[in-house]
Amino acid sequence: MAKRDLKEQIRLIVNADHWDPFQVLGIHIIEKEGRKAVTVRAFLPEAEETWVVDVDTRNSYKMERINEAGFFEAIFVERKEVFPYYIRTKSSDGMISEFYDPYSFMPVLTGFDLYLMGEGRHYKKYEKFGAHVMEIDGIKGVHFAVWAPNAKCVSVIGDFNKWDGRRHPMRVLGSSGIWEIFIPGLKEGELYKFEIKSRFNKYITVKADPYAFYFELRPKSASIVYDINKYKWNDREWMEMRSKKNWLKSPISIYEVHLGSWMRMPEEGDGYLTYGEIADRLTTYVEEMGYTHIELLPVTEHPLDASWGYQTIGYFAPTSRYGTPEDFMYFVDKCHQNNIGVILDWAPAHFPTDGHGLGFFDGTCLYEHEDPRKGFHPDWGTKIFNYGRNEVRNFLISNALFWLEKYHIDGLRVDAVASMLYLDYSRKEGEWVPNIFGGRENLEAIDFLKGFNEIAHQNYPGVLTIAEESTAWPGVSRPTYLGGLGFSLKWNMGWMHDMLEYMSRDSVHRKYHHNNLTFSLLYAFTENFVLAFSHDEVVHGKLSMLNKMPGDMFQKFANLRLLCGYMYGHPGKKLLFMGGEFGQWDEWNHDKSLDWHLMRFRPHRCLQKFVMDLNHLYRSEPALYEVDFHHQGFEWIDFHDADQSVISFIRKAKDPRDFLVIVCNFTPVPRMGYRFGVPENCFYKEILNSDSQIYWGSNLGNAGGAWAENIPWQGRPYSINITLPPLSVLIFKPVISPSSA
């Protein structure tokens, strides 16, 4: 390298403008006076003096300062080959430091890595990108990698280099747009970000690591080097069971939880519980209540509490609000040891515009669409991913697999799927761009969702993928080879809307809206549905579940028990947001704990016991879960009794001889001598009565059950005559043997 060229290269290094600092810094073979020689160059602005120390001989050689900013060089005219070395420095205050030179190491990422990343098929990309503690040639340090194809220079900055972007510029690997560096001596716990200088418009930014495993507690935003491979899991039995489980034919009763507001510590200023504290309390509670799964609102790192986690910055990091990544692993492990599955809400539909996030990452719209008609979400003020870009698809799919692999997560509930499927979602005419065929379907997003589901199910048998999809898009929970999107399950938003609208009406008007009760059975088997009363239904003026119910206090509780009972009888898996199980009066507030003090009062304790008994009954009766997604598992007895707002139906197990009879009265009027048809001539044991006094009901019932009579009714050969309590659900189980009645 000619002197003039070297001078220009040094200028670029000093100004943090060099696209390939490894070309200049580190150890190189050069030509000196017509002969081969070796040079070592380093930019060390904090050093007064520097030396190169030969690792083999321990001899030290002083380096010459050849630029006032702190660029040093040592030339070894007697050497013909590169050699292992480290650098010793002396600062102006006399401090001596020794370290291995980051610019003496070869690339860590391989050509095969780059090939898979370019194709969008590197599904363990999280093992290569971000910050990884590792050892190279016996030297410990941290390897950093980031994708920024439109940058002219990318540097790692942190406390270790005084956040000086000149100190650790990275190398770019060919035309891949991937930048990397191994920095020896760094350890777990280091704070860092990436300083990015774009090739366009002199744009300079500082970004958090998209692949960071851990972050500072908000409002701080630095990424933290963290080794996530240290935790020793104790859930082998659960994981082996899960891989063989057919969840579609198993009970799924989900308790939806926001970790920051399920329970807090009033004795500590209403502070958060840690992951460990939540694990010990929540698993005990959920196991006692009989739920099969916990679904967590997003635990991925997010800057704004009020987003509830749905505006994610750290897609690979559990939020530091409640502890470390290892602490969250303990939470999942504890759930599994108590036979509780863990589902995460996942938000690949959009991301926030915060300056340290993914938006305009390298001075261009890298992760998002440039056209705001495709890349900006008007409802949430967020960016929309460009699903047509291989690297973006790879980022998201590898992220999904990351949670399944590294955190043993049992399912991902994908948020806002409808907003992904439609280009005109929440947009007026002229505010969206049609697809290549002129349609409104987002073809790239559809392809992404299919790919995500195929890869997740292929690699992790027994894992659930669940769509929050609010339209009539066909085949959401059907396999991709049949033209579906490939999800395991889909939230039944229509049933939820119809039922809440129906239940909020005064009972005297319900007979005019009987269709709300029965309409769902026209489409109940077109998808694998989850019946969900989620967090979205108890915020923003929608009232709590209990407060939606009409009538006096007695009727409110009775109505909510009735609603829950009907949900558990209706085909489909179940989900209830926290607080609904004991009758929270106030709307959910993410900034405070649930009102656990209400458990001092009998109505709330009784409602909680009802939900607990429902869960345990549900799990013990195959008729309530084995055939959820086929008409053979459900049979109407009578859905015509609109005047009395009563419905009755049969739920069947895989063995049709195993069945239950369910009757619901949606008025506060008790129905004495209510007769309805049954298929078998036997005793029908009353195994659940929501009006029982143990649930704070009026205690009307049938003294344990009723015998069928040889009186044909409603097209059936037999019938039973019962007392139907007000605002109640009754479940009867046929007992063929009189002695067991």
Predicted local distance difference test score (pLDDT) of residue 2: 54
pLDDT digits (tens, 9 = 90+) for 655-683: 999 999 999 999 999 999 999 999 999 99
pLDDT digits (tens, 9 = 90+) for 567-615: 999 999 999 999 999 999 999 999 999 999 999 999 999 999 999 999 9
Strand locations in 347-462 (E): 376-377, 382-383, 411-414
Strand order in the sheet with 47-54: 60-62, 47-54, 85-91, 96-99
Predicted local distance difference test score (pLDDT) of residue 741: 45
- Residues recognised as catalytic: 415, 468
Mean pLDDT of 27-47: 91
Give yes or no for residue 384 having a pLDDT over 80: yes
Work out the angle between the directed axes of helices 275-289 and 325-337 (0-180°, nearest 10): 20
Predicted local distance difference test score (pLDDT) of residue 4: 57
Q: Do domains 3-104 and 111-224 have the same CATH topology?
A: yes
Give yes or no for residue 211 having a pLDDT over 90: yes
Nearest Cα to Cα of residue 358 among 528, 525, 212, 140: 212
Residue pair 295/343 in contact by the 8 Å Cβ criterion: yes
- Please list the residues that pair with 50 across neighbouring strands: 89
pLDDT digits (tens, 9 = 90+) for 71-115: 999 999 989 999 999 999 999 888 999 999 999 999 999 999 998
Query: Residue 202's Cα: distance from chain center in Å?
Result: 36
State the fold for domain 111-224: Immunoglobulin-like (2.60.40)
Give yes or no for residue 739 having a pLDDT over 60: no
Give yes or no for residue 306 having a pLDDT over 90: yes
- Between CA 272 and CA 323 the distance in angstroms is 10
| CATH 3.30.465.10 is held by the domain 3-104 | no
- CB-based burial label for 99 (10 Å; 0-12, 13-18, 19+): middle
Residue 265 pLDDT grade (very low, low, confident, very high; cuts 50, 70, 90): confident
Q: Where are the domains of the chain?
A: 3-104, 111-224, 630-740
Nearest Cα to Cα of residue 489 among 211, 250, 218: 250
Give yes or no for residue 740 having a pLDDT over 50: no
Mean pLDDT of 554-559: 98
Instruction: Give Cβ neighbours of residue 507 (< 8 Å, ≥ 6 apart).
Output: 550, 551, 555, 645, 666, 667, 668, 727
Residue 419: both structure tokens together: 């907003």
Nearest Cα to Cα of residue 402 among 312, 283, 282: 312
Mean pLDDT of 261-265: 92
- Between CA 220 and CA 208 the distance in angstroms is 11
Give yes or no for residue 214 having a pLDDT over 70: yes
Of 5-19, 140-154, 201-215, 301-315, which range is least confident?
A: 5-19
- Between CA 661 and CA 671 the distance in angstroms is 17
Cis peptide before 219 (omega within 30 of 0): yes
- Please list the residues that pair with 124 across neighbouring strands: none
pLDDT digits (tens, 9 = 90+) for 524-543: 999 999 999 999 999 999 99
DSSP assignment of 419-438 equals HHHBTTTT--TTSS---TTS
Give yes or no for residue 621 having a pLDDT over 70: yes
- Between CA 288 and CA 615 the distance in angstroms is 10
pLDDT digits (tens, 9 = 90+) for 338-377: 999 999 999 999 999 999 999 999 999 999 999 999 999 9
Residue 1 pLDDT grade (very low, low, confident, very high; cuts 50, 70, 90): low
Q: pTM of this prediction?
A: 0.94
Q: What are phi and psi of 523, to 5 degrees?
A: -125, 10
- Helix (H) or strand (E) holding 301, with range, is strand 300-301
404 DSSP assignment: H
Give yes or no for residue 652 having a pLDDT over 70: yes
The CATH number of the structural domain formed by 630-740 is 2.60.40.1180
Instruction: Give Cβ neighbours of residue 91 (< 8 Å, ≥ 6 apart).
Output: 46, 47, 48, 97
User: Parallel, antiparallel, or unpaired: how do β-strands 300-301 and 293-296 relate?
Assistant: unpaired
Instruction: Give Cβ neighbours of residue 144 (< 8 Å, ≥ 6 apart).
Output: 130, 131, 156, 170, 180, 181, 182, 183, 192, 194, 209
Residue pair 15/195 in contact by the 8 Å Cβ criterion: no
Give yes or no for residue 405 having a pLDDT over 90: yes
